[in-house]
Structure formats: C-alpha cells, structure tokens
Amino acid sequence: MEECIFCKIISKDITASIVYEDERMIAFSDINPQAPVHILLIPKEHFPSLNEIPEDKKDILSHILLKAKEIAREKEIADRGYRIVLNTARESGQEVLHIHFHLLGGRQMSWPPG
C-alpha cells in the first residue's frame, strides 16, 4: 500500500525508531508517546484493521502479542504492568489504517479508557 504511512516505515521510506524487526513484523516507538514506553507493533503485510484479518492469517496476531510481551520484559515494565491496545475502526479512534498494537507502560493507567 504505497500511500500507507506504516507501510512506508516497513519499507524504510520513512524513518522510525525501530525496536524489533523480523520477516513478519516490526515494532517501533510511537512518534507521539502517551506513556514513558509507547511502542507500535505491526505486521509487515498490510491489513487495514483487525476486521480484515482472515482466518488463515491469525498466527500473526499471536506472534505480535508474544513479541509485545518480550519487549515489555526488555523495557522493564512486565512486572509493573502494561497495556496493549488494538483500536479497530472509526469509533475506537483508529487513525492509521494499518493494523497496529499499542504497547503502553511506565506509568499508572486508568480505567475506563477515554
């Protein structure tokens, strides 16, 4: 998707502070962090949101989640606690239409979310 900003991060046409990368996914720091740790984790394959993930691609979701857990450990927020957010479609506030998990931590979270 040539007009997708996250695809451009994957292709390195836009620079990002990359935390982790493999053949299937990439994790990078959010440009507008909402917590001391705010990392975005995305599949390299473009899907607009969770709504478009087909059954035969479901493994990418567990792959990303378990990598988020490892990154939380590396960032020393695993035991304190962290939040993983997957905004999906309009009313969630999703702005970038390339599925992405937010990994947030390093401060006390509140509930319910805004």
Binds ligand 5GP by CB under 6 A, chosen from 36, 81, 93, 113: 93
Q: Please, what is the minimum distance in Å from the beta carbon of residue 33 to ligand 5GP? A: 8
Residue type, 15: T
Distance from C-alpha of 18 to C-alpha of 21, rounded to nearest angstrom: 7
Angstrom CA distances, 113 to 48, 83, 85, stand at: 22, 11, 10
Count of chain residues binding Zn ion (CB under 5 A): 6
Nearest Cα to Cα of residue 99 among 34, 44, 28, 32? 44
Q: Can residue 30 be called a binding residue for ligand 5GP (CB under 6 A)? A: yes
Binds ligand 5GP by CB under 6 A, chosen from 5, 60, 61, 84: 5
Quick one: 8 or 69, whose CB is closer to Zn ion?
Answer: 8
Alpha carbon 82 to chain centroid, angstroms: 13
* Token pair of 67 as six digits: 């990598």
CB-based contact 60:48 (threshold 8 Å): no
- 13 DSSP assignment: S
Quick one: 1 or 31, whose CB is closer to Zn ion?
Answer: 1
Question: What is the number of the residue whose Cβ is closest to Zn ion?
Answer: 4
Q: Can residue 14 be called a binding residue for Zn ion (CB under 5 A)? A: no
46 labelled catalytic: no
4 binds, among ligand 5GP, Zn ion, none (CB under 5 to 8 A by kind): Zn ion
Query: Which residues form the catalytic set?
Result: 100
